[in-house]
Structure 1
Amino acid sequence: MAARLFRQRDLYMMLLPAVLLVFVFWYVPILGWIIAFINFKPGFSLFPAEWTGLQQFKDFFMQSTDYMYLLRNTLSINIGSLITNLFTAFVFAILLNEIRSRFFGKLVQTITFFPFFVSWVIIYSLSSALFASSSGAINEALVQWGVLDEGVNILGDPKYSWIFMILLSAWKYLGYNSVIFIAAIASIPAEHYEAAEIDGANRFQKIWHITIPGLIPTLIVLLILNSGWILNSNFEQFYLFTNGTNWEKMEVLDMYIYKYGLKLLNYPYATAVGIMKTFISLMLIIGVNAISKKATGKAIF
């Protein structure tokens, strides 16, 4: 063991900076979790503070009903986004692989990848310009054409909030998510397609019997990995699109933590909610991995 470590010392030295970064920015901050269990006041030391135990967790689950709509919003939007993102990327990668023109295929992939590099600030500005109820270009056009009597308030009406966030996320991450599936398709041996063609299989049959089964393991791995992020939301996205009329359907756990931690300065309460979110996410990824292992025989650990 020691001899192998010595022989591979150069590789471990290359890995060391990444390990240090992960340790410093992901594990050291865990020490701050103690704030959830003490009566912490900004500007004072942590350790002389009064020990409050699980009081903040009790306040969240027993003294408040906020967790009900927070979990409803977070799970509905994030699970919907996860399923939609993976499904659209899965289908898009298959269709892109069937394009025979190499130039056109690269062009389509580049165009769909571009939104990933567009910030949510710009996306919000575009959405406002297109979908604002009174001045949005699409609403104005539909009213002028007689399709609608008045503009639809997509950005403010709560009944559109979930589906709008899910579709925006699918549009933004389509090209990025499809790269993994495209790489998985490239790893399928060409001999499989050649053998199927000799047997008389058409393009649809090759997709159904070769491409899709070849992508299923990648889909399962992505599903397991992303299940641990179901309670994590893109803060920038929700901060921009949440307003006074749709907050009841848009306020998610990350926005709630921001509100109590940085706006109301209730650090112990916000930290307790963050700890709860972390442990639930850990249980989710373990549970999804166990279900996948039992149902399909495929898992990541």
Structure 2
Amino acid sequence: MDTTTKRASSKKGERVSKTTIKRGGGFWKLFKQQRYLYLMSLPFVIWAFIFSYVPLWGWTMAFQNYKPAKSFFDQKWVGFDQFTALFADQQFYLALRNTLAMSFMGLIFGFVVPVIFAILLNEVKGMFFKRTVQTVSYLPHFVSWVVVAGIVTKSLSTDGGIVNELLVSMHIIDQPIQFMAQGKWFWGIVTASDIWKEMGWNTIIYLAAITGIDQEQYEASRVDGAGRFRQMWHITLPGMRTTITVLLIMSIGHLVSIGFEKQFLLGNNLVQDYSQVLDLYALKYGLEMNRYSYGTAISIFNSVISIILLFTANGIFKKTTKESIM
């Protein structure tokens, strides 16, 4: 290697070294400037670590024949036997069907309705009426599912239920229908109840996104002769796209993790084949029967499928709409 080449290589190495030092110094300088923000976020990092990551140690139970009276090192390891039993149980597939059915219905209607409601509410000019409707719509969010289930059950009752009385008085039906005793109605009842309870609350974030839209766009569209419907379609809805995309991706990630409160409170033995979801299946065939390892295997299945759905949805939206949450 000649002298010129050596000098060039030496200078290049010095530049790389200086750049690295500069980058490192820039990070510590930024850390020093924003040290109070880091200190403020530290409790939340600790909270997430303790309650979200430390419990993952319990997943080891899914690979054991767990006995509460024994220590961790005395447990019998069974490998994937719990998962084999899970995928061989017909009740698991029944619970998975119900979970996916109610999840997709909730995703479609429970996601679209708040968006439409937010857009329509934004078009209301009277501020008093607008605030009144918004307040009334999100109040059910603060009502527990125990109370909501009681209201829904009473409203659909054959003995003085307002729904049956209204249908009979309008001559739509000849006699009251036992809505809560027929499995074919259960998915729709759960979805409608969830929409009524959460629609107003979910609308708040969409209204916040609408307020961030530049008002000059509406003024320019009115000058060009655009009506209110065209403004909603070409300005309001595109202005909400980022918020809608992020919330949609997060909702898809929770398709198989819908909880069990609604199904547990609204269900009964007559509609068990339609009300049992994965979380209820884990509760019944895991905890109640002291099969802790089996219940843990169900929870792992839920988590893994949720992660796969989240990354898949995020990847699809990232390629198609250039929007993502990661």
TM-score normalized by structure 1?
A: 0.95
Q: Partner of 1:240 in structure 2?
A: 265
Q: Does 1:19 align with 2:78?
A: no
Aligned partner of 1:221 in structure 2 is 246
Q: Which residue of 1 aligns with 2:20?
A: none
Distance 1:192 1:238 in 2: 45
Matches within 5 A, 1:161-172: 161-172=186-197
Determine which structure has more spread, i.e. the larger CA radius of gyration. Answer: 2
Q: 1:56 — aligned with what?
A: 82
Q: Are 1:108 and 2:133 counterparts?
A: yes
After TM superposition, the structure 1 = structure 2 runs for residues 237-276 of structure 1, keeping only pairs within 5 Å, are: 237-276=262-301
The answer as to whether partners of 2:260 and 2:277 remain within 8 angstroms in 1 is no
Q: Write the letter of the residue equivalent to 2:60.
A: I
DSSP 3-state at the match of 1:270:
helix
The amino acid that maps onto 2:322 is: G
Paired with 2:324 and 2:300, the residues of 1 have a C-alpha distance of 26
Cα 1:146–1:87 change in 2 (3 A) is: closer
Distance 1:91 1:143 in 2: 31
TM-aligned CA deviation for residue 135 of structure 1 = 4.6
> Measured at CA, do residues 126 and 52 of structure 1 come closer, stay the same or move farther in structure 2, by a change above 3 Å?
same
Question: 1:79-103, CA deviations, whole angstroms, 9 ceiling, x for partnerless residues?
Answer: 1101111100110010000000011
Q: CA offsets per residue over residues 63-88 of structure 1, 9 Å max, x none?
A: 31223212211011011101111100
Q: 2:231 aligns with which of 195, 202, 206?
A: 206
What SS class does the counterpart of residue 148 from structure 1 fall into? coil
After TM superposition, give the deviation of residue 146 of structure 1 in Å.
Answer: 5.1
Question: CA shift at 1:143, angstroms?
Answer: 4.3
Q: Which residue of the partner structure matches residue 11 of structure 2?
A: none
Percent pairwise identity: 39
> What is the aligned partner in structure 1 of residue 65 from structure 2?
39
- Partner residue in 2 for 1:282: 307
User: Deviation string for 1:2-56 (max 9, x for gaps)?
Assistant: 2321221211111111111111111111000010101111222122111100000
Tell me the secondary structure at the aligned position of residue 17 of structure 1: helix
| Residue of 117, 124, 148 corresponding to 2:149 | 124
- C-alpha distance in 2, partners of 1:33/1:237? 26
Amino acid at match of 1:116: H
Does the aligned pair in 1 maintain the 2:264–2:275 contact within 8 Å? no
Asked whether the equivalents of residues 153 and 266 of structure 2 are also in contact (C-alpha less than 8 Å), the reply is no
Question: What is the aligned length?
Answer: 300
Match of 1:194 in 2: 219
Q: After superposition, what is the alpha-carbon deviation per residue over 1:219-277, rounded to whole angstroms, capped at 9, x for unaligned?
A: 11111011111111232212111210011011000101111232111000110011011
Report the residue type matching 2:30 in the other structure.
R
Change (3 A) 1:270 1:4: same
User: 206, 224, 229: which is aligned to 1:181?
Assistant: 206
**Residue of structure 2 equivalent to 1:299:** 324
**C-alpha contact 1:238 1:250 (8 A) present in aligned 2:** yes
Match of 1:88 among 113, 128, 132: 113
Matched position secondary structure for 1:245: helix
**What SS does structure 2 have at the residue aligned with 1:166?**
helix
Q: Quick one: which of 54, 57, 60 aligns to 1:28? A: 54
Report whether the alignment pairs 1:66 with 2:91.
yes
Amino acid at match of 2:129: F
Q: Distance in 2 between matches of 1:108 and 1:202?
A: 24
Letter in 2 for 1:216: R
Higher helix share: 2
